[in-house]
Amino acid sequence: MATITAPTPQVRKEPRRKIWTSNGALIAYVFILPYVLFFTIFRIIPALYGIVLSFGEYSLGGSLELLGLDNYRRLFADELFWNALKVTGIYAAVAIPMTVAISLAMAQLCNRVMRGMSFYRSIFFLPVVTSPVLSGLVFIWIFSPDGPLNWVLGSVGIPATNWLQSSFWVLPSLALVSAWMNFGYNMLILLAGMLAIPQDYYEAAQLDGANAWQRFVKMTLPLLKPALFFVLVLETVKSFQVFDTIYVMTGGGPVRASYTLTYMIYDQGFGYFDFGYASAAGVVLLVITLIFSLIQRRLVGRSH
């Protein structure tokens, strides 16, 4: 006798509504469109044109003559470029750890509940909104032979130093200015990451006998890796592209001890009007910055 099987009811599938066509998404696109246009016109298009310009020679009359790889051959054979690259590397090696360490220490200091902490956080953020030119002028006075820094050091028996005219001390001095200008913004990013860590973790570690340093090293730093990676990338880009404080405080001196790659790009482009050569140096700087960011992404930003 044949078995009769009841037919399986067909479930009607509702068409999946595309997220990017919803009313909320369309409204969001309308709001972000001005920024996208602004970023495209003033960032992406000039960057692409700069890459094209690095393969040619641009005259003030507006004509562009393509030269192939001539600018890059000339660049890699130029001792001035290698000196600027060395100065940039030394500056970055000093400025990045100094700024990140100060930012991390200040974020840990502000990561506590006490009266007036919001006021202190606002005070620490003030250097970020201060004009770099004004900051540079103030630090010229601080680092001058008769400035307050030498006065303080002289009170403990350390002889006065002309910091900005010393080939050895000029880059650490500029790195200190950069750390003072940027630590407030980085501090807020790291502080936000610290506040996102559940307090239950610290309480459990404290019950297990971990002291404050062990909790910071074993818990705070590993859980802070996303924010720390962002700060590292941000400081890497800023360090390789530093210009304003050098322009105001040293002008690339003394004897080109602070003549960074960014300052060389400015000098060649707007000092000698060699825009193609300056663009080639800019493309090299872009590649170097990208490589270091990818290395940091692999070493620090990798999620486990």
The 10s digit of each residue's pLDDT in 61-101 is: 777 888 889 999 999 999 999 999 999 999 999 999 999 99
Q: Is 16 helix (H, G, I), strand (E, B) or coil?
A: coil
d(CA 302, CA 226): 9
pLDDT in tens, 216-235: 888 889 899 889 989 998 99
User: For the chain, what is the mean pLDDT?
Assistant: 87
The number of C-alpha atoms within 13 Å of 76 and in the hemisphere containing its C-beta is 6
Asked if residue 137 lies in contact with residue 248, where contact means CB atoms within 8 angstroms, the answer is yes
Instruction: Pick the range with the lowest mean pLDDT from 9-23, 27-41, 61-75.
Output: 9-23
Model confidence at 121: pLDDT above 50? yes
Instruction: Pick the range with the lowest mean pLDDT from 108-117, 208-217, 220-229.
Output: 108-117
* Beta pairing partners, 57: 65
> What are the structural domains of the chain?
23-66 (no CATH), 72-299 (1.10.3720.10)
What average pLDDT does the segment 47-69 reach? 85
Exposure b/e, 3-15, CB count within 10 A at least 16 = b: eeeeeeeeeeeee
Please list the alpha-helical segments (H only) found in the chain.
23-39, 45-53, 70-76, 79-110, 117-129, 132-143, 148-155, 170-195, 199-207, 212-215, 221-223, 225-240, 244-249, 261-266, 275-299
Asked if residue 290 lies in contact with residue 277, where contact means CB atoms within 8 angstroms, the answer is no
Model confidence at 153: pLDDT above 60? yes
What average pLDDT does the segment 124-142 reach? 92
d(CA 255, CA 166): 10
pLDDT of residue 304: 45
* Residue 254 burial (10 A CB sphere; 0-12, 13-18, 19+): middle
Per-residue pLDDT band for 13 (boundaries 50, 70, 90) equals low
Q: What angle do CA 298, 302, 304 make, to 5 degrees?
A: 140
Who contacts 29 (Cβ-Cβ below 8 Å, separation ≥6)?
none
Identify the residue with better confidence: 133 or 297: 133
- Of 180, 181, 215, residue with least CA distance to 198: 215
Asked if residue 163 lies in contact with residue 169, where contact means CB atoms within 8 angstroms, the answer is yes
pTM of the entire predicted model: 0.84
Model confidence at 18: pLDDT above 70? no
